[in-house]
Amino acid sequence: MKNINFLIVGVGGQGTILASDILAEVGMLAGMDSKKSDNMGLSVRGGSVSSHIRWGDKIGSPLSMPGTIDILMASEPLEGMRSLHFLRKGSTIVANTYRVPPMLVSTGQAEYPSVETIDKAMHDAADKVIAYDATAISLEVGNVKTMNIVLLGTISTLTDAPVELWEKAITKYVPAKALDKNLKAFHAGREKG
């Protein structure tokens, strides 16, 4: 398995940290050196949250430098657009298209970029963009809180880590009462990959 630098971005309440815990665990289960670093800032609901996860033979820092991210997971489109400078040439973006407007947009002090603007920026920055409404899929599964797991399902198709390792990591980090829906969400996301 090759070295991979991941960046997960979203807003508070979207499960960015849980997704990063699972992604780091999959790397360890796959026999890689796996490191992660979370940046929660003012991550109350609606605030920016980001997590760097790195898999490799030997990883020093858990943080990736701008221009080095292989796979960007954006739980919210604007947060994804704000992080495009981290991508390297040949990178992939897996993005939820469901919008969570930041406070400045909600109060009328700023405008949310158009779908076309975000789409163009993502396609200009990455070789491959997989964008869909992961929130709608999570609602179909029966729990909107599984949106992050839907996106991880898609990311799982971009790595060499076997499905069983992903399922094992999800089982470790998701409460038992929510496990069935999370595994269903994971496999729904794999269908998008």
Indicate the residue type of 40: M
Q: Cα dist. 181→18, 81, 140, 157, 170 in Å?
A: 15, 29, 10, 19, 11
Neighbours of 80 (CB within 10 A): 27
DSSP E strand boundaries for the chain: 4-11, 33-39, 48-56, 69-74, 87-96, 128-132
The residue type at 98: Y
Report pLDDT digits (tens) over 22-74.
999 999 999 999 999 988 766 555 678 899 999 999 998 898 999 999 999 99
Identify which of 35, 30, 37, 29 has the alpha carbon closest to the alpha carbon of residue 58.
35
- For 190, half-sphere exposure in the C-beta direction (CA atoms, 13 angstrom radius) is 15
Q: What is the CATH number of domain 4-191?
A: 3.40.920.10
Burial 107-131 (b: 16+ CB within 10 A, else e): eeeeebbeeeebbebbeebbeebbb
Q: Is the pLDDT of residue 1 over 60?
A: no
The proportion of the chain whose per-residue pLDDT surpasses 70, expressed as a percent, equals 96
What is the tens place of the pLDDT at every residue in 132-144? 999 999 999 999 9
pTM of the model: 0.93
- Which one is predicted more confidently, 165 or 11? 165
Tell me, rounded to whole angstroms, the distance of Cα 59 from its chain centroid. Answer: 20
Domain spans, the chain: 4-191
Q: Show the DSSP H helices in 59-114 as ranges.
A: 77-82, 103-106
**Residue 156 and residue 185 in contact, taking contact as beta carbons nearer than 8 Å:** no
Per-residue pLDDT band at 99 (split at 50, 70, 90):
very high
